[in-house]
Amino acid sequence: MTTAPPRLSRRTVAGYSLGSVGTGGFATLPGLVLAYYLTDTLAVPALAASVLVFAPKALDVVINPMIGARSDADAARSGTRRRLLLLGALTLPVFFALTFAVPSGLGAAAAGLWVGAAFIAAAVVFALFQVPYIALPAELTEDYLERSRLMSWRVALLGVAILLFGAGGPALREIGGGGRTGYLVMGIVAGVILGLGMLAAWSIAPRGQARAAESSAAHGFSDTFAAVRASAPFRVLLLTFALQALATGTMLGAAQYVATYLLDSEGAVSVLFAALVGPAVAVMPLWMRLVRDWGKQRTFLLASALFLGATIALLGLFAGAGPWIYPVVALAGIGYAGMQMLPMSMLPDVITDHEQQTGGSVRAGAFSGVWTAAETAAMALGPAVVLVILAATGFTSSSGDDVVTQSDTALAGITVAFTVVPAALVAVSMVVLRRYRLAAEDRNRSS
């Protein structure tokens, strides 16, 4: 008779989930305010601002796999990933605050260089935390269902963090008096909150013992990609997740244009954003119940199908916009919550499978480094896809507060970016996901 594996303690689940305050906040707030800070407070030209905002994301694609290899080496030598987690948690608040602490005497060029250097440093130290953080679930529990429970709480808090930073960041700026001073207040307060969330995750990280069999194992950059190439389940899951990250990145990138030009309200973007992200907290029990009954792969397919169905329904924007769009986006948000939780709970299953097949080699950091690099690249590419579509359909840019009347072709381009492209990407991702094969799925299906 087999005994059930122990459940994760509430402290462990809470601590790990609170790490999402750091990851969600850092992903949300700079994307929301940094470009506007550069162009409308520091007078940095728009083209230069776009380079400064994108550069750290491009850097992530290179450094995250390297950090993953370094994290694996730490785990093999000492049995823990706590060193990098702590370093990231302690230094991110400093560099995040410095990003919004440009001295008043600097001109536009020098101010841009200040922001670029500080934000790149912030991105690097954030990666020091994020990569081992994503690797932790594989080491916190070996239980198939407990990993889903852990991720359901993590994604729920991630949704809360995104909503709070999305609304609270600009509010802190205004409380601080606006302008440079307001941004500095926002940077300091938000940075401290980010750091506290990250420290909560560090506090529950396993301390562990070094694995003797790993003392001479290689953990270099090339070894990272060798591990990825050796795991077919990881490649399938990674491609599925990257396609869906590109789909949601494109949808979010087009949301402001939908609000301004189809709904005739710039402020409607906040409602669209909340409708997509908000359901995460409420629907996690639903996805957990389905994981127990169906397994992760089948439940992931259902979540993807729900998102796909909602984006197809949004094709009604070709006929005309209206309040009906909000409940449809909320339906997409229910699917989106599952599309976030399920692959993140499947990743540690894949890691464990690979480590068992390779004699217990430590490779969680390698997989999480490549995973976060692919996610960053896909999310960064989403807005670029939107801009290409708008350029191809004759969208007219403008300056100032006046809203330009767009041609019917340009309005159709906005709809294509918001609906057709995400729907096509998710449809392809579902075809890829059907190729996912893992022993843990088979065991759960037969139990």
Q: Which numeric CATH code is attached to 222-395+403-447?
A: 1.20.1250.20
**Cα–Cα distance, 324 to 65 (Å, whole number):** 43
Question: Averaged over 250-270, what is the pLDDT?
Answer: 82
Phi, psi of 274 (to 5 degrees): -65, -35
- Provide the residue ranges of all domains of the chain, joining segments of one domain with +: 9-204, 222-395+403-447
**Cα–Cα distance, 434 to 420 (Å, whole number):** 22
Full-model pTM: 0.84
Res 445: pLDDT: 62
Q: Do 222-395+403-447 and 9-204 fall under one CATH topology?
A: yes
Question: Averaged over 145-166, what is the pLDDT?
Answer: 89
Please determine, for residue 258, whether its predicted confidence score (pLDDT) is greater than 60: yes
pLDDT digits (tens, 9 = 90+) for 48-86: 887 888 888 888 888 998 999 888 888 888 888 999 999
The answer regarding whether domain 9-204 maps to CATH 1.20.1250.20 reads: yes
Please determine, for residue 186, whether its predicted confidence score (pLDDT) is greater than 50: yes
pLDDT band at 113 (very low <50, low <70, confident <90, very high): very high
